[in-house]
Amino acid sequence: MKALRVLRTLNSSLSSNPSKTHFNSTIFLRFYSAQPQEDHPTSTGISSSEEEDTSSSVFDSSQYDVGVGLNNDVNSESSVSSTWDEKYRERVKTKVFGEDPSEIKSSRILIKEEEKRRRAALLARTLLEAALDRPDEEGDEDKEDELVKEEDQMSLSVGIIGAPNAGKSSLTNYMVGTKVSAVSRKTNTTTHEVLGVMTKGKTQICFFDTPGLMLKKSGFPYKDIKARIESAWRSIDLYDVLIVIFDAHRHLIKPDSRVVRLIERMGSEANPNQKRLLCINKVDLIEKKKDLLKVVEEFKDLPGYERCFTVSGLKGAGVKDLTKYLMEQSVKRPWDEDPFVMSEEVMKNISMEVVREKLLHYIHQEIPYGIDHRLMDWKELRDGSLRIEHHLITHKISQRKILVGKNGSKIGRIGIEANEELRTIFKRNVHLMLMVRVKS
């Protein structure tokens, strides 16, 4: 109806003053095509709230352009390609420059043949150089194989413990060289032990990032979080080396007597078959050197610790010395993990940790801690990509609305960032799906 009214208005204006009014059919066509038609999907009877409930709570990475370098198919029918006839060029050169078309064609053939010869010579030279260098490369591979024979392999298990938010996960990720554990500004980010493996030469070090430990003022562990950190307390004596880490920057700003007691307790209960190290973390946040020296003087002579290191798990300061010390403590025994292949179980744990980190970053208060996070599907597709499906189960409808966000904006942001990070870690395409639902 709107289009008919516009047509009548234009006709009246044309009849009243035809000399000054110009009828633009293109504008009219655009206006008419922009109006909702009877058979258009927007005129259906489905309400917007129903669509939001069914679609906004699900994130599917295939619906977003999150890939870099991915092949996007373009419909050849809709694309218009420009054509050029070489005969036009020959005619122009004949008319303008007086050149003979036959000479132009013969010179073009000579240029193509010369280019083919040049490329063939370059390819032959490259293959010859590769063939000459191959014995040396095979010799290096044989040497590497000799270094990693089972009878020559060295390994070490390292546990990293400390108070919540002391930087355990950041240190683990930096030493391993990739994301294996969630990192967040919130406390209690790690809820279970996470395995990270570093292999250098014939030595393999397995890191175990444990949940944050904390003591009450009485000196005993909190009972309300006993289930979460129970495994961390039980596994303290299972590692070859135990790293006790604490936040030096927080100790200067707001000292916590519980952290000091935890450090003292770990030193007093030392295992004779285990070496314990004290790592003063987050030194990059301390501006004055005298403040750092003050913290070092306070903790360097505590009993039960072999060495004291000052490190920055985020920036990497001091990590080289710590890694060198750990390499020297390795013992002669076969490796526990394949250094060249990331196991499926490790990849599943990494996917859980990455999604959990994004949840903690965008969802606040107690909501992320109460979400039941489940890995529902893991499948490797024929093209080598991974299809991963996570379910995020909330206890209340209100929590689900907060997690989904307006029109799915919150869960979409979480999914996009997690999908990109997983692609970087796994070095392959990842199709991540996140579904938010309420516990039934």
pLDDT in tens, 20-64: 445 455 544 444 444 444 444 444 444 555 455 556 677 777 666
The arrangement of strands across the sheet holding 386-394 comes to: 58-60, 430-438, 386-394, 372-380
CB atoms within 10 A of CB 365: 9
**pLDDT confidence tier of residue 345, bands split at 50, 70 and 90:** confident
**Whole-prediction pTM value?**
0.54
How is residue 395 written in tokens?
């206890």
- Spatial distance between the Cα atoms of 68 and 217, rounded to a whole number of angstroms: 52
- Spatial distance between the Cα atoms of 7 and 24, rounded to a whole number of angstroms: 12
pLDDT of residue 39: 47
Q: Do β-strands 58-60 and 430-438 pair in parallel, antiparallel, or remain unpaired?
A: antiparallel
CATH of span 344-438 = 3.30.300.20
pLDDT in tens, 241-274: 999 888 888 888 888 888 888 888 888 877 788 8
Average pLDDT score, the chain: 73
For the cut 90, the answer to whether the pLDDT of residue 210 exceeds it is no
Q: Which residues of 94-107 are buried (b: 16+ CB within 10 A; e: fewer)?
A: eeeeeeeeeebeee
- Rounded to a whole number of angstroms, the CA Rg of the chain reads 33
- Spatial distance between the Cα atoms of 194 and 353, rounded to a whole number of angstroms: 9
Single out the residue of 44, 41, 49 nearest to residue 404, CA to CA.
49
Is residue 130 classed as helix, strand or coil in its secondary structure? Answer: helix
pLDDT in tens, 64-120: 654 444 444 444 444 444 455 566 666 666 666 565 666 666 777 777 778 777 777
For the cut 70, the answer to whether the pLDDT of residue 310 exceeds it is yes
Contact of 152 with 202, CB cutoff 8 Å: yes
pLDDT in tens, 361-394: 888 777 777 888 899 999 999 888 999 999 999 9
Check residue 63 and report its DSSP letter: G
DSSP per position, 324-363: HHHHHT-EES--SS-SSS--HHHHHHHHHHHHHHHHHHHS
Mean pLDDT calculated for residue range 330-359: 83
- Spatial distance between the Cα atoms of 214 and 190, rounded to a whole number of angstroms: 14
CATH of span 152-332 = 3.40.50.300
Is residue 309 classed as helix, strand or coil in its secondary structure? Answer: strand
Residues of the chain with CATH 3.40.50.300: 152-332
Residues of the chain with CATH 3.30.300.20: 344-438
Which stretch, 88-102, 196-210, 220-234, has highest mean pLDDT? 196-210
pLDDT of residue 166: 79
Single out the residue of 281, 303, 302, 306 nearest to residue 292, CA to CA.
281
